[in-house]
Amino acid sequence: MTTPGGEPGRGAQLARILLMEAREELVRADNKAGLLLASLGAALTALLGAIGSGVIAPRQYPVLPQLLLWAGCAACAPALVLLGLAVTPRLGHPQPFRTHYFGDARLATSPAHLEHTVSRTDPMSRDLSQLAFLSRIAWTKYRCIRHALAWGTAFCALTLLGIVTGAST
């Protein structure tokens, strides 16, 4: 998709811009998920440390505060799983007859084979393929992060509510 002067057309330029933006979103999503995963892990570690050292004694709490605390702890598990899914690398499905991704290049049987597939690959097709793939990944990562935030909020709210109501009785 080039103009008569050999310069990329508007569609190719837009595809390249959108591809850069999708890559930036992937970096942002990974950073957010990593930060949330570390924060949630630290909160869980602090809670387990306080329970293990006896600072918080949930067994001595009445039934309702115990239920709140343990329900909050149970809500932590899906949050951790979802954040883990958000930071998990997604490699796609490499194909040996094109070179759109590093996984495709990995399938080359020789440098000559790689040169052949690279020379046959249309740059616009490659950009569009990557744009579609990376956009799906970014959307999936953000969906995992949103759901993890809900579960993490439930973890914090229920656990703190259980600790506060249990300690005050």
Scan for tokens 């656990």, then name that residue: 159
pLDDT of amino acid 106:
84
Rounded to whole angstroms, what are the CA distances from 120 to 15, 42, 127? 19, 50, 14
Residue 25 contacts residue 139 (beta carbons within 8 Å): no
pTM of the model: 0.83
Tell me what the mean pLDDT of segment 22-39 comes to. Answer: 96
Q: pLDDT for 81-140, tens place per residue? A: 999 999 998 877 887 777 877 788 888 888 888 888 888 888 898 899 899 999 999 999
pLDDT at 5 over 80: no
User: Average of pLDDT values for 24-50?
Assistant: 96
Could you tell me which residue, 167 or 18, shows the higher pLDDT?
18
Pairwise CA distance, residues 160 & 150, whole Å: 15
CA 92 centroid distance within chain: 15
The three-class DSSP label of residue 8 is strand
What three-state secondary structure class fits 2?
A: strand
What pLDDT, on a 0 to 100 scale, did the predictor assign at position 79? 97
Give the per-residue pLDDT at 8.
65
State the pLDDT at residue 83.
Answer: 97
Better-scored residue on pLDDT, 10 or 157? 157
pLDDT per position as a tens digit, 47-92: 999 999 999 999 999 999 999 999 999 999 999 999 999 999 887 7
Helix (H, G, I), strand (E, B), or coil: what is residue 155? helix
**Domain definitions of the chain by residue range:** 61-169
